[in-house]
Amino acid sequence: MPQIGIATQLTPGAIAVGTRFQQSAKYKSATVEGIWEIHEYVVDRRIGAKTVEGPFEFVISYTFRDANCVTLLTNLVQIELPNVLQLVPTSLARIVVKRELSAALFTLKRTLERII
């Protein structure tokens, strides 16, 4: 199964529109690297990012909304796989991406609950 690596911030300073990150994904012995950029940022409300370099293209957004003492999160993802990864069936790719995002969101939730 492909594994999505940790994102490393390339742009110094606080996260804002234009902040760039480098991230890799591994599948078997191959590593795919890309750079993505924050293209939308509203503090405590919305963040959006998109690929600016690399073989895969994605647009992703997170929207946060208060609802009765909890925060609702809406996550939208659009990904175009590079030709080499198109050998992986779309249904499998969806499962992998959903699993990776769910794991990342669960980690974020646990981290935030420890802080509060």
pLDDT category at 9 given cuts 50, 70, 90 is very high
Distance from the first to the final alpha carbon of the chain: 34
Residues 83 and 95: beta-carbon distance below 8 Å = no
How much is the CA Rg of the chain, to the nearest whole Å?
Answer: 15
Nearest to 24 by CA among 62, 53, 48, 47: 53
Say what percent of the chain tops pLDDT 90: 29
pLDDT category at 10 given cuts 50, 70, 90 is very high
Asked which of 36-40, 79-83, 109-113 is least confident by mean pLDDT, the reply is 79-83
Question: Which structural domains are found in the chain, ordered by start?
Answer: 3-115 (3.30.530.20)
Report the 10 Å Cβ neighbour count for 47: 19
Nearest to 19 by CA among 40, 37, 6, 34: 37
- The two three-digit tokens of residue 106, written as one number: 């669960």
Nearest to 27 by CA among 56, 2, 54, 55: 2
What residue type is assigned to position 56 of the chain?
F
